[in-house]
Structure 1
Amino acid sequence: MKAKDKLIVALDFDTREKAVDAIQRLEADVEIFKVGLELYLASRGKIVEYLQEKGKKVFLDLKFMDIPNTVAGAAREAAKMGVFMFNVHVPGGKQMMASAREAVEQVAAGGLQKPLLIGVTVLTSLDQNDLLQLGITQDVKELVIARARLAKEAGLDGVVASPKEAAEIKSACGDEFVSVCPGVRPTWSAAGDQKRIMTPKDAINQGASYLVVGRPITGAENPAEAAKLVLEEMEEGFEC
């Protein structure tokens, strides 16, 4: 895979118009875009169709978490949309994840392309102190790996995790198990509200399957140039 196949740009906007402007600036350099809760709701879901009409892949980042039957229904609808990837929260439990997997398989059996189904382990905005406030005393890395193993047991294709855990996830779950890594910050950008971060070069070195980068690209004066710089840093990781 080339760097372009591993970069996911997060479209964290509050209007469809802002997102469309960013997509048009980036479409020559970016193949995969992440649509989260804010933009999905602001665009009434229409931004997904717009991206697909452009021939782009969509990571639908809605982080489903509910009782198994409800999540299965949501997963079924996400799969029917033809997205490239979507996610659920691992803390929703093994049965919830397995139900989502079964729903995706049912849609794929009908002839539609099967999306990657991944699980959110621990949000990259949380560190050890945040977990302690939630009553979780387990080391953050140990918790991520344990949740990654649970996701694999439930039949998921991979997980969302900090790049700091990518190498250990590969070791615990195998090379084919996907690691989608937010919390990626180029050497020239600010950390923002992310706490467990890593540069694109180092994240690739650690075995991350996909890197999610948002504000360092979309908030740049020249988003296309920023995307090219991120891709260059990723290429350096391939060479190491």
Structure 2
Amino acid sequence: MDLDEVAARLYALPPSDFTAARAEEARSAKQAGDAALAREIGKLRKPTVSAWAVNRAAREHPGELDELLALGEELREAWASQDADALAEATRRRGELTGRLSRLIRQDADLSSAAVAEVDQTLDAAVVDADAADEVRRGRLAKPLSYSGFAPAPVTRGAPRRKKPAPEEDDERAARRAEIEARKAKEREEAEAAHREWSEALAEAEREHGERAEKVDRLEKKLAKARKRLADTAHRLEVARREERHARARLSD
């Protein structure tokens, strides 16, 4: 058993089953003598509903997903080469394929409007960004993805030239600000996800601790009764031995 195998099993589960299953997998790894694996399993984050829905699509609709991600490669290549015809065609097909896969995902699970929006946001990110595409393809998302860069868009031939860009230093400052804001937003998302996860882990630990404390209390009460019965038996045994010795002594007189 390795982390990839465990992660594949866990992220195939509904979010409601994830925490308990993760604890069981970690316990099994620890019992097998692999404490390092148990720690790594414990770090796996519970997926949001939208992330789980996309993970499920990666397993149940791989053909549709592969077609969409392949189109994403074509779209990025067309954008890089500024091929107007290829970019326009890829953009048209992007809407069709994204819509088809999104409908399949909604048919598979009863999602809220917010979750549906996150699913569409994740699919868009996978089309535009190669790293996001790899994450979606693996089917182990813990949260929805988003893309904050410039998304490929059709190039209109004969369109008027844009105004000259701002000076280079202004662009650099804007890029730095955008990078800082994106990093802060990502850190906040990660912190919120970690807080939700550990809150669930705390509730589970408190429940388990309460159950075991009650069990220990019951066992201690049983032990106290057993010790009292043992003491009573020991007393009767001592009385019986003493009386037996006296009776034996009278026989010998």
**Larger-gyration structure (1/2):** 2
Higher helix share: 2
| TM-score, scaled relative to structure 2 | 0.25
Higher strand share: 1
